[in-house]
Structure 1
Amino acid sequence: MLLVAAHTFSIGIGFWLVGLGLFMITAPGRELAALARMGGDNIIHFGEMGLRALAGTALVVAAPLSKFPQIISPVGWFLILSAIIIAALPRRWHAAYSLWWARRIPLAAVRLIAPLSALAGFALIWTMLG
C-alpha cells in the first residue's frame, strides 16, 4: 500500500512540476512574489519543508518502480536532507534568501527557465510510469 501511494505521489510531483513550469511562463511576476514569501512565516516555512521532505520520501520509496532508481533515489534523499537542514536553520535566513533571489531574478529569466521545470516534470512522470 505504501509503495503504491509513494508511486502515485511521485507521479503527482511530476504533474506539479509541469504546472509550475506553465505558471512560470504565464505569470512570472506572481511566481517571483510567491518565491519572495517562502520562509515568510512558520506555516509557510515548515509547510514547504514538510512537503519537500514528503516528496523526497515518496521518491525514495517509489524509486525501485522507476526506470532510473539510481537517479530517483538520490534526488529523493537530497530533498529529504535539504528539508531537514533548511528547517533547522533560522527561518529568517530562509525568508531573506528567498526575498534576495526574488528581487534579483528578471521576469525574462523566470520564463526562460520555466521549460526546465516542465521538462523535469515530464521526465519524472515518464520514468515513474516505466
Structure 2
Amino acid sequence: GEILVEIMAERIGQSFLAPGPLVGPFPSGAPAIFVGQAAALGQPAGLIGAVGEDDFGQLNIDRLRAFGADVSAITSHKGHATGTAFVTYLADASRHFVFNIRNSAAGLMAIDDAARHLLADADHLHVMGSSLFSDKATDV
C-alpha cells in the first residue's frame, strides 16, 4: 500500500493558495498506519510498498520497524521521492488534500521476491484500493 508523509497547514482555514505555516512531516498512508497499529498491538504484520531513498521514506520505515512491523517488502527507490500529502483543515472540520502518490516511489510498488515471501506467510491480506494504480502490483 501507499506509504507517505503528511504535512499539515498549521491554521484552520489556511489555504494552499498562499504561503502559510506548515507542520510535519508525519509518517502516514492508510496502509502504513493500519500495519503499524496492528504490529503495535502485537499482531504479526508487514507491508508491501515503496518509498523514495530519502528522509521521508526512512522516517516511515523507522516508525513501522519501531512498532514491530515487517518492513522487508518495502522497497526504497533511489531517485524517486516518497509520497506526500499536504492537508489543510477547513472551518467546517472538512479537509482539503494535495497528494503526490502516483508519481512518487509509491507508484513503483511491485510484487517482488520479498513481497511473495511476506504473502506466503500471511493468514490475512488487506488491500488498500488506492494502491491498485500500480500495474506492477496488480499484474501478479
Q: TM-score range by the shorter chain?
A: under 0.3
Judging by fraction of residues, say which structure has more helix: 1
Q: Which has the bigger relative contact order, CA under 8 A and spacing at least 6? A: 1
Higher strand share: 2
TM-score scaled by structure 1? 0.24
Q: State the TM-score, normalized to the length of structure 2.
A: 0.23
